[in-house]
Amino acid sequence: MMKVQHINSQIDASKHDIGIVHIGLGAFHRAHQAVYLEQTLALHGGDWMIASANIRSNYSLVEQMNAAEHCYHVVEYADTSNANLREIKAIKNTFFCGSDEGREALLAQMTAPATKVVTLTVTEKGYYLAPSTGELLVGAPEIQHDMASPSQPKTALGLILESLKQRRAQGLSAFTVLSCDNMPHNGIRAKGAVVALAKGQDDEFAQWIEKNVAFPNSMVDRIVPAVSEQDLAMIKADTGISEPTVVKCEQFSQWVIEDHFPAGRPQWESAGVQMVDDVSSYEMMKLRMLNGSHSLLAYLGSIAGFKSVADAVQDKDIRAFLEHYMMQEVAPTLPSFSQTEIAIYCQQLLARFENDSLQHQLKQIAMDGSQKLPQRWLTGLTELQAQALAAPAIELGIAGWIAFLCDAEQGQQSINDPLETVLFETVNRYRDDSVSLVGTLLQRNDIFPSSLVKNEALQVRLVGLVDELLAGAKVQSLMSHIYHQE
């Protein structure tokens, strides 16, 4: 029997103005940032309501939010028998920018004097940065459009630029841009992307942005799976809630933000947000341990026949393999933390992964691999190589990603990756020549650091692992061989 604690909203939206504009009206935003704002507003009030927007996709969600007067619920599962049902009213308005009308409405809100912060959850690919170099992908069609038609932007970067340009012309102060995406130094990367696009339009304006706009880094952590029709049925059975906007997540949540908000900010710390001077150590630990483990599960767990994170972690070989990865291959790259701290976090993560009420699908995590792997695995791999330390778990993960590409291409299944076309062309061309396949993929400098391309021994090992996986080798046996070598 499910025990549900109901937490009703304490917000009267009519008494609070919008102070935050969010781009990326997805499940994570609604289960993370909006929940923190809900609690902050309930405690302190103030004009910090959220206006949230989707740029190109999911118009139906915006319609559903509007129909519900922007009230929705978040189900926070502790396990299969205990959950919180939280009512959220922190979002005051929603926009869809796939039309001229929607875009103009969003720009008007971003330009409003009351708007002090613009937050982002647009995923790694929404910044249009080469994952390995951090350079703006100036050849991307959307970026080309925003350079040629800056007053009609299609990207989050272009929307930020146009609204800042309008604010400057009106004599308004700049808002703060807060990235909430899973990227190392996400604020620095967001600034780099915005400034690079600005330079393509107006170099003097780019200099103004560098001097006047704050881009604090942040680290976000909460497991928020996509909600399926099966999930909706489960949530209705567990809570009685039947609404298309409902979100499910784990009860654990963390948000660490660099405290640099010249235009002002909500009193987030009262809701448990950690306001700090530097988030880099927190974000690196989370990206490499949690997100890195998730990517290992996504590719290797899928090859082993598992569908969800919880199911895969029940396998003793997979669990031991993840523990090896975190303690032997991630820990040496996290000098800011003691072995005891890392060991505690490792066990906390494994316990969170076991939460089978979430049914976090491995195929969801597997998407966008070319954008995720550089910060989750590859930068750590280069650091391990510099220390002359082995990284067999990461290498098996890379081989798993390549095998996943082969399976997806053969099954004509989308991987929702901005490089999907070129990756599938490579796989199709070299399917029967693993040496050329691995070599060609490693030479993609928009994914892999140059130091890995030059490592011939690494390439030989990867070819061997790819051959084994494509030949049907048992994943658990490969994992067992790795963690038994400790």
The residues spanned by each domain of the chain are 3-278, 281-483
Asked if pLDDT for residue 382 goes beyond 70, the answer is yes
Asked if pLDDT for residue 199 goes beyond 90, the answer is yes
Mean pLDDT of 242-265: 97
Q: Which CATH number is 281-483 given? A: 1.10.1040.10
pTM of structure: 0.92
pLDDT at 486: 60
Asked if pLDDT for residue 420 goes beyond 70, the answer is yes
Asked if pLDDT for residue 103 goes beyond 80, the answer is yes
Asked if pLDDT for residue 313 goes beyond 90, the answer is yes
Mean pLDDT of 144-159: 96
Six token digits for residue 270: 């009262």
Are 70 and 41 within 8 A, CB to CB?
Answer: no
Q: Which of 48-57, 106-115, 304-313 has the lowest mean pLDDT?
A: 48-57
Distance CA 430, CA 108 (A): 50
Six token digits for residue 335: 């000098």
pLDDT band at 368 (very low <50, low <70, confident <90, very high): very high
Q: What CA dihedral angle connects 270, 273, 279 and 285, to 10 degrees?
A: 140
pLDDT at 132: 83
pLDDT tens-digit profile of 323-355? 999 999 999 999 999 999 999 999 999 999 999
pLDDT tens-digit profile of 13-61? 999 999 999 999 999 999 999 999 999 999 999 999 999 999 987 789 9
DSSP helix/strand/coil, 47: coil
Residue of 478 and 1 predicted with greater confidence = 478
Q: Residues 112, 114, 119, 122: is their CA dihedral positive or negative?
A: negative
Mean pLDDT of 305-333: 97
pLDDT band at 453 (very low <50, low <70, confident <90, very high): confident
pLDDT tens-digit profile of 201-251? 899 999 999 999 999 999 999 999 999 999 999 999 999 999 999 999 999
pLDDT at 203: 94
pLDDT band at 131 (very low <50, low <70, confident <90, very high): confident
% pLDDT > 70, the chain: 100
Q: Which CATH number is 3-278 given? A: 3.40.50.720
pLDDT band at 139 (very low <50, low <70, confident <90, very high): very high
Mean pLDDT of 268-278: 97
pLDDT tens-digit profile of 219-231? 999 999 999 999 9
Tell which residue, 398, 470, 5, has the closest CA to residue 238.
Answer: 5
Note every long-range contact of 465-473, with CB atoms under 8 Å and residues 24 or more positions apart, other chains counting.
Answer: 465/395, 465/396, 465/399, 466/399, 466/402, 466/403, 466/434, 466/437, 466/438, 467/434, 468/399, 469/303, 469/399, 469/400, 469/403, 470/403, 470/406, 470/434
